[in-house]
Structure 1
Amino acid sequence: MKNSPQHIVVGPAEHGVVTYALQLCDALNVEPLCFESWQDLERALPLTLETQSVHICFTDHLLGDTPARAVQLMHRLGEQFYLSISFHDVPQVQEGEERFASRTRAYVELGERADVLVVNSEHEAAFFRRHCRKAVYPLVLPLPLAAVETQGNYRAKPLTEQPLDISVMGFLYPGKGHQELLESLNGVNANVRALGKISEGHDWLLEKLEATAQNAGVGFEVTGYLSEPELEEQMLRTQIPVCAHRHFSASGSLMKWISLGRRVLVSDNTYSRELAKIWGDFITLVPNDEWARVIKNLPADFSRRLEAPTNWTWAHVAQGYERAWASGIFPEQDPHTLVEREPRNWPSVSVVVPYFENPDGLTAIFRALEHQDYAGKIECIVADDGSADTPPVPDNLSFPVKVVRQDNLGFRAAAVRNLGAQAASHDVLAFIDGDTVPRHDYLRHAVALLTHQPHALVVGTRVHGDGKEPAWLQDAWAQTNHLAKADDSAWRFIISAVLTCSRDFFNRVGGFDESMVGYGGEDWEFAWRAWNCGARFWHSELAVADHPEDDWGERFTDDTAAIAQKNWESVMLAQRITHPMARPSHTIFTRPDIEILIPEEAKFWQPGVLETVIEGWLALPGVHIIAPWVESAATVFTADPRVHLLKNGDAGLPGGNHGTARLRVHLLQATTVENLNDIYRVENHDGNALLTDSTGRKKFARVDSARWRSRRANASVACVGAGRETEDASPLVASSAMVPAGGKCSTFTVEAQWTIFDEPVRLEGFFAGW
């Protein structure tokens, strides 16, 4: 995987977390950097690696002698690298109040630091969302179904044959549930076998369990260490598999039972209910240690082996990690190098053709698709924008064609493209206008980057009647290295006539804006939202399509008509694109470009300070204010739609515009600034920066971009079914501690004049300009 970080594995190979880490490396076909202990890693720091990012499977037990020491070690790694962290042994209240508190502090601190945060269950994701002060976006990748080594056709006896053979797989340690299981089986004709050995330091447990079994009148045996084939044979021969641990949040032993096609009794908890929704045929939930009652009511064929599922393997888990790393959190490689690499598999493509009464053009497109050298599956969706006649489709094409239609209610390019996308069934959407004919290798070049970067937005090369692209686009490609160096203004170079992206990312962006009716602009508006959703723009000069007509600028003989059409497009975009290049600077719009979040802190509550700070920011273009409700400020700004003063309990902003801003400024001081240059430059760097004076001691504000926030969220939906927070969890009115989550955060020295108000302000003088 091109964006894969260096994997660091710490601890002995037999430890479950280390086993997980090594199996992940095998699935990804990468070579890990291994250390026997955390002390070895500590001595090796700082590391010299070719990558800027690392991945580590974290449990505090392996990374330090205390939870705090483990986090300190991870912070040292974070000083050098972007951090992708898979969290294991997530804290639970059953550990005891003191231990739970210390481990929670460590996991929360590290979870807020991680650039990619991975857990094995929604139950664990909820832990981070509940305890972290900052917005975090856990990616949920359940433990995979295990590989099966045994080839024997071992069978268990039916439950009619007694005494019943009941087995618990895995290391024995306090809290694993053996004790509760044995106590519950009092009076049941059964033998309980523990398939595994006693955990180091818990030899005393054997005597206690044997005494409990004797009191309950059941047999008990500990097999000790079993090789993998021996273990699988025993698991297949047992009549009743059991996972008795009451407080687990991820279980390799449960996944192993399911991998063997065994139905298993599992303690009822949040995690087991989560898995029962996926593999309900294999999981029988047991509430409140009622093992005896549930066992007595099992069907006689409960021990019969089922066909094992294959819907969540290491290959699926590896793909989930790869897509998270490709989401744009880590520094991205140059697309020029990525598109030259043959992908593992070419995705299926839906070619979406907006159409209006141009049968000859459509026939030419069908002919061109017939001759594509693309190795994956394709289909064509013809989206008709209200033609008088149904678009003609030839018989015997080598690919399927769907025709979808909408009424003729004007030029509705945005709506008709969405209509086509909704009908698509493949992974990639390739939009090609009905008067534009792709060359034989168009799809191969248009799709190449998407196989490496699923959030890419690829614009092809549309040549006109003179065999060239318009000069304004040629200049754009030269200035941006074919958009490899795109910035926040590059939406101006995206044209939907030759546009390709993944269907998943298209849906995440929200498709085209169907409220836009009339010629032009819908592609720029879509590209603007895509950029803020973390899109990777790319111009593929080899994905060439022919457009026999002239470019827009050459079609008019009447300059007035051309200007009128272009002006209408500009007016439509000014309402939707908040960038300063798209709207007049002194006009008030309902959709902000920049949100200023003013915290509920005493220094903002001195007389006159809040009003002064709000007024200072409103003098700058595109700014909206979110601040705590103060009666005097509410009285002054009651008629200004840009000021949102929230009382305790307020759920959101009028009009639902919160979160649409390109940039968000969390003020750390009661301050104003003479211009927005310091804030604007955050967008095209890391998108997450702390603004300070030259000494670093004065901290003015924390700035983050919608693009940065979206990329973090994108990493949490990197696989189907991943748990995610759909809303930004950061508060509307934040304290200075409640700043955006993140690993890497740039520190910028401010260049503009920032004024701090640390004393009361007499508003009479401020209003009069004294």
Structure 2
Amino acid sequence: MTVTHLVVGPTRHGVVTFASNLAASLDGLGGAVAVVRVGDWRDLDGSDIPRDGLHLNFTDRLFGASPSDAAHRVAGMARDASAAGRRVSVTLHDVPQPADGGNYPLRVQAYRDVCTAVHGVVVNSEHERSLLAESGIADPSAVMVVPLPLDVTSVGSRPAVEDCSVGVFGFLYPGKGHDEVLAAMADLPPSIDFVAVGEPSSGHDDLVAELAATAEGAGRRFSVTGYVADDALDGVLRRVTVPVAHHRHVSASGSINTWIAAGRRPLVPVNRYTREHAERNPGTLTPYPDTADGLRAALRHALEHPDATWIAPDAGSGSTTRAATALYARALSRWHDD
């Protein structure tokens, strides 16, 4: 049976990129794959969704105006598919966790409703599966873990860079860690730049202004690259002196993997997810205690030992693109062909 990958959301969204790459990788394995691309969830209502089996990459913000609206929409697709003798499976992203604050109960209920409606569920880490169990969203025995694909390569020649910098990659939004990294740079020489590689999330331009004001007050140069096209991204990430991924409540991180794919070994706070990642992909991260002092010490060490910020030849991946794609192919065959 052909499985249609319904990819919903703006092109630059990380979940959309993941979904598109997954479909392309499955197609490369020779599976029966179709892709339907929808730029905005509003275009789903009343549209003619294919009656093949469907696979979705779900995060509530891409499928509705609210968590409950998004869940209602996906549950409706699952009901329609069942009525036609077909099934819907999902990969969950941005799994709810208490750090979501007041929105947490609403997101928990939405993800629970989605898991109840569909016929197969994937998450990208054991940490995410644990979060589902701890919040009562889903029985962990019914959830499959397929780690984010990671192809590790070391960089032969490194670019010559005149300016010394600390960089954070990804959309700018509260909680991503930009403000904490900049604060941790207070004791570093002002000649060390702070670079945000990426663009502000919708509605968070004020964060850029706040970061700029803080940097200016310290006499430090701050820059935001804006969106960087895929074919230029590795070059930008390789020109950063110290790569940092200080998203403290991450459940699975495409940003971390993007640093690594560019040959960099980012600094990361110790938490359940980064411990899991380090065990699966040895030699790809530089962990530090998740405290302000821990971050400050890690930045100083990286500046004094720049070789430690690059992937070494003996680093390894426990979840290559080929391996992850094969796991998906078997799961989708089981869910949609039985």
Pairing 1:43–2:46 present: yes
1:106 paired with 2:110, answer yes
- The residue identity in structure 1 corresponding to 2:47 is A
Distance 1:132 1:113 in 2: 15
Matches within 5 A, 1:594-613: none
Alpha-carbon spacing, 1:125–1:280, altered in 2? closer, same or farther (3 Å): same
> CA shift at 1:211, angstroms?
1.9
Alignment of 1:257-656 (within 5 A): 257-286=259-288, 287-289=290-292, 290-298=294-302, 299-307=305-313, 309=316, 311-327=318-334, 329-332=335-338
**CA gap 1:156/1:262 in 2 versus in 1, 3 angstroms:** farther
Deviation readout 1:646-681 (Å, 9 max, x if unpaired): xxxxxxxxxxxxxxxxxxxxxxxxxxxxxxxxxxxx
- SS of 2:7 mapped into structure 1: strand
Q: Distance in 2 between matches of 1:134 and 1:120?
A: 15
Q: Which aligned pairs between 1:162-173 and structure 2 lie closer than 5 A?
A: 164-173=164-173
User: 1: distance between equivalents of 2:332 and 2:258?
Assistant: 27
Q: Is the 8 A contact 1:268 1:288 kept in 2?
A: no
In 1, distance between residues paired with 2:227 and 2:137?
43
Residue 226 of structure 1, CA deviation: 2.0
Q: Could you tell me which of 146, 159, 184 is aligned with 1:141?
A: 146
Shift of the alpha carbon at 1:322? 1.1
Structure 1 residues 266 and 306, CA gap change in structure 2 (3 angstroms): same
Question: Which whole-Å CA distance do the structure 1 matches of 2:144 and 2:160 have between them?
Answer: 38
In structure 1, how many angstroms separate the alpha carbons of the residues matched to 2:300 and 2:214?
20
In structure 1, what is the Cα distance between the partners aligned to 2:213 and 2:333? 54
Which string of whole-angstrom CA distances, capped at 9 and with x for unpartnered residues, describes residues 280-321 of structure 1?
A: 312111221332212223435224453364553332222111
- Shift of residue 268 of structure 1? 2.1
| Partner Cα distance (1:140, 1:70) in 2 | 23
Q: Is the 8 A contact 1:187 1:216 kept in 2?
A: no
Q: Tell me how far 1:22 sits from its aligned partner.
A: 0.8
Q: Give the conservation status (yes or no) of the 8 Å contact 2:166–2:241.
A: yes
Please, which runs of 5 or more residues in structure 1 have no aligned partner? 333-770
In structure 2, how many angstroms separate the alpha carbons of the residues matched to 1:156 and 1:112?
53
Q: Which amino acid aligns with 2:205?
A: D
1:9–1:21 contact (8 Å) kept in structure 2: yes
Matched, 1:71 2:71: yes
What percent identity do the matched residue pairs reach?
A: 35
Q: Supply the distance in 2 between the matched residues of 1:238 and 1:67 (Cα, whole angstroms).
A: 37
Distance in structure 2 (CA, Å) of the matches to 1:173 and 1:64? 20
Deviations 1:162-216 (A, max 9, x none): x742111111111110101111111112211111122222111122001222344
Q: Which residue of 2 aligns with 1:210?
A: 212
Residue 21 of structure 1 corresponds to 19
- Give the match's secondary structure for 2:44: helix
Aligned to 1:646: none
Deviation track 1:674-712 (CA, whole Å, cap 9, x = no partner) reads: xxxxxxxxxxxxxxxxxxxxxxxxxxxxxxxxxxxxxxx
SS in 1 for 2:312: coil
Match of residue 84 from structure 2: none
Give the counterpart letter for 1:85 in structure 2.
V
3-state SS of 1:139 partner: strand
Contact 1:191-1:218 at 8 Å conserved across structures = yes
Aligned residues: 319
Q: Helix, strand or coil for the counterpart of 2:43?
A: helix
Deviation at 1:128, TM superposition (A): 1.6
Deviation at 1:131, TM superposition (A): 2.6
Q: Secondary structure at the match of 1:76?
A: helix
TM-score where L is the length of structure 2: 0.86
* Equivalent in the alignment of 1:94: 99
- Deviation (angstroms), 1:243: 0.4
Normalization by structure 1: what TM-score?
0.39
Q: Distance in 2 between matches of 1:281 and 1:310?
A: 9
Distance 1:89 1:214, change over 3 A: same
Higher helix share: 2
What is the aligned-residue RMSD (CA, Å)?
A: 2.4
Cα distance in 1 between the residues matched to 2:230 and 2:283: 25
Match of 1:83 among 84, 88, 92: 88
Q: Distance in 2 between matches of 1:228 and 1:278?
A: 26
Secondary structure (helix, strand or coil) at the match of 1:128 reads helix
Residue 228 of structure 2 is matched in structure 1 by: 226
CA distance in 2, matches of 1:13, 1:90: 21
Report the residue type matching 2:320 in the other structure: T
Q: Shift of residue 237 of structure 1?
A: 2.1
- SS where residue 17 of structure 1 aligns? helix
Larger gyration radius, structure 1 or structure 2: 1
After TM superposition, the structure 1 = structure 2 runs for residues 193-208 of structure 1, keeping only pairs within 5 Å, are 193-208=195-210
Q: Deviations over 1:387-415 (max 9, x none)?
A: xxxxxxxxxxxxxxxxxxxxxxxxxxxxx
* Equivalent pair of 2:115/2:138 in contact (CA under 8 Å): no
Contact persistence 1:171–1:199 (CA under 8 A): yes
Q: Is the Cα contact below 8 Å between 2:281 and 2:317 reproduced in 1?
A: no
Q: 1:4 to 1:123 in 2, by over 3 A?
A: farther
Give, in whole Å, the separation in 1 of the partners of 2:78 and 2:212: 48
